[in-house]
Structures are given as C-alpha cells and as structure tokens.
Amino acid sequence: MKLARFIAGCATHEGMIEGELAVAASGRWPLAEVRLLAPCVPTKIVGVGRNYPDHTAEMGHDPPQAPLIFLKPPSALNHTGGDIVYPRSSARVDYEGELAVVIGERCRDVARHEASAVVRGYSIFNDVTARDLQRSDGQWARAKGFDTFAPLGPWIETALDPARLRLRTYVNGELKQDASTSALLFDVPALIEFISAAFTLEPGDVIATGTPGGVGPLAIGDEVSVEIDGIGRLTNRVIASR
C-alpha cells in the first residue's frame, strides 16, 4: 500500500495511491492532476551518518562503533517536485540519497526484535548537505538544516522488506549512487533500537538511514532524483536563493 498526502481540489488530503489514481475519503483524482506533498509531518527527522562503508571511506573516516545520529529540523521538510534552495552562505551543496523509515506509533525503548511493529512504512529521502559548512562548523545542524534540505517522498510504501533494496541517485540523468541497503552498517531494526533508547518516537517521525558512497555537489539548475526499488522516485530541482 502506498500512503500519500496530496493537494487536490484546493484542499490537502491524506489517502493512498492506487495505480494512476490518488484516493482519499473525499474523492479520487488522476495522479497526474494532484500535487504530492511529503507523505508525513514529522516532529523530528533523525539522520544517520556514515552508515555505509563506502561513504565512510570516501569521507576519510573509520566506521563508527555505534550509529552516528543527528537531527534535521521539520522546517527543512520538502516534497517531490519541490525546489531545493541553494543557500547564499554555502559554496558546496551535496546530494545524499537515502532510505527513510516512517514511524507508525508512539514508542520508546524498542527492542530490535520488535522494531518492525512500530514502522508505518518506508519512503525516499535526500539528506541535502552544505558540505563546506559541515566542515567549518564542526557540527551538522546548520549544514543539514536549511529550509528545503529534507526532500521526502513520493509516498510511504507499507509492504516492503528494507533489508535488500537497490538505491540509485541521478543528477541530470547521470547515475551517481548505486547501492543496496544490505550494505548498511546498522540495519533498520538496530537503528530503531538505538534511536528509541534516546528519543521518544512519534507517529510520522522519520529516520533517514544514511547514504552510500558517491555523494557529490549540486549546482543551481540541476535536477536530482533518488530511486529505491519497491518505492519509486523522489525528484527535486536546485534553485538559487531569492
């Protein structure tokens, strides 16, 4: 099942995608005629750093001994088709394609073997990062927290095994990242166990599970797409700050 939020008929709806239709309690619309929104409204977006061996290596670090987590503000949330705004304060903005876990119920201290019970489903995330500011600041809040730096979508897929999914990222149609979630250093159950030991997770909260190797810069005018088998495609365009 594909759960979605969308605008149709001048109203925001929560429903599902059935083939080429967007369906809600109040009606049905051709998918081509609706505007898809981020499929949930999180109270927090929990990112995971250096969770693929090849990305850890390309960034010049050793693999972490435990999940390396950070927060992106909900104000950074973006949707498929939304513009990524290139900040004036940065000269290097990177894409980072990732699998996103969407939490389905309020939970705390979730054991690994119970993790699947608190998951609503899975989506696609682009952990857009001002790489130069990440390096100069010494912490990641500003670099990863700009408005529009958290594209999520196009929907939530509820019937999916996250263990072996192919992830690909394209910039202007050129393949930049190609990996399987089987390479995650800390898999989805391990992440939920670790993160829920620190934070109460609320329905709609998002865990971005980390990016594989192949990250690189975006330029104004670029189109970036992240695809994950079994979910779909998340596409955004980069524009200049107004």
pLDDT digits (tens, 9 = 90+) for 183-224: 999 999 999 999 999 999 999 999 999 999 999 999 999 999
Band (150; pLDDT cuts 50, 70, 90) = very high
Band (9; pLDDT cuts 50, 70, 90) = confident
Residue 51 corresponds to which tokens in the numbers above? 């969770």
pTM comes to: 0.98
Least Cα distance to 101 among 212, 188, 195, 198 occurs for: 188
Least Cα distance to 117 among 132, 131, 106 occurs for: 106
Domain boundaries, the chain: 1-37, 40-240
Domain range 1-37, its CATH number among 1.10.238.10, 2.30.30.370, 2.40.50.140, 3.10.20.30: 2.30.30.370
- Mean pLDDT value across residues 29-45: 98
- What's the CATH number for 40-240? 3.90.850.10
